[in-house]
Structure 1
Amino acid sequence: MLSGIERSRTGITNRADKRPVTLADPPAFSNAQKAKRDFGVRLGEIRKTAGLTGLALASSCGWSESKVSRIENGKTAPSAEDLRLWAAQCEASDQTADLIASLELPDDVEGAVKVRNERLKLLHQKDRTFAVLIEEAVLRNVMGDTDVMAGQLGYLLTISELPSVSLGILHLGADRTSMPPVEDFWIFDEAQVNVELISGWLNG
């Protein structure tokens, strides 16, 4: 299934080269993505003005703390009922109608396609290199029919042959005792590291 990608004794697959890794700067977001993040920031400001922590708001709404974090970071779009609860618990019910109206985010398909194409161009720039480590379970999750899945795996194999890309797979049989699969992280050169925790984001 993963022909062309080697499996090492440590459980981490990777290409044999030892090139230094320099990850690209984070790409720009489309207008729709930016609107979601800006809306999340606004909700976060409402929460902070009310003097509530993310955990306190989550508890009062009957949610997990991660739901509050994902909404504020633009990862999850809240429902109208979510916004009613949010505003009520933050004593900002006067903003409910405006918040619900703001759920109509821009339909920016053209902008999203443009951003995606700009990202793909980065893979072909000679002054950039990318190192990507993926859980094998991610590759085995079925997100479409046979043609869709074959196309996705085929694309990974294709880009793994680019000089700028090193692709590694952490296989299912690896001992995860000291490293449970919980968090994602991104390293941008020596400038910044982003870690997505269950309860929020860390930037360092």
Structure 2
Amino acid sequence: MSAQPRRRRQELGAELRKLRKSTGMNSTAFGASCGWSQSKVSKSERGATLLSPEDVKVWANKAGADRATVDRLVALAVELSSEDLNWSPEQGKLSERNAYIGEVERESAGLHNFQPSAISGLLQTADYARRVMTLLDVGDEHDVAAAVAKRMDRQTVLYDASKTLEFLLTEGALRWRPGPPALMLPQLDRLLSLATLPNVTIGVLPFDRQATTLYLNGFTIFDHPEDPFVLVETYHGERRFRDEDKLAQYRAAFSRLRESAATGTEATALIRRIMDETPRD
């Protein structure tokens, strides 16, 4: 998802705010008249939360909007809901996707990332990232180059001590080789370096440890102060879930994964062992 849907969400919020103000009610009173909290109203007006099309219809009707305005705003909410939940290569470039994710990472208090098959994007070297994006075969050479640059820019968030960043990787993700040893050895060394950061936790799920849950896809939980959500990766794109029930399910799944992960010195020892077992030529 590019930054454009977020701007359009803010534009929708501005229109909703104008409608609410036309009623003469403040956000608390207007929310109460719709059966909502003041927080829901204020977040919607800022574009921090995207209302469902049904809620947009309730809002516009409560504010006395004419039929054409109601239909237009509901149609916009339907369109934004689709854009907000999904991303695929057909909907935008890799570089745009990385720019959007970088914006979310900067705004979030922290994140919890699980990767079963490859090393997490925030932990990748430029060469590893370039190879992975090339293997995806969804962008041209220029888009891949721009996406790698955006991904490297995103990594400045790792050094923000105010954020809590937790990564869980399977041993398989560390042993998977998208390129030759000359690619993998610096990447594994990069993990050892980042594991020393006080706000970064890197856990590894070893092959020889009993699993605590079934994992099918990589996912990231963003602890955004106004708009927390989970991003779930699939082969053909991504899905974003914001409702509390699904967020709770993914937080529980991450906790179960954490239970079987090696962390701290145990994790770094495993990474070093994998490095030692990686061919030098």
TM-score range, shorter chain: 0.3 to 0.5
Query: In proportion to residue count, which structure has more helix?
Result: 2
Higher relative contact order (CA 8 A, sep 6+): 1
Q: Which has the larger radius of gyration?
A: 2
TM-score by length of 1: 0.48
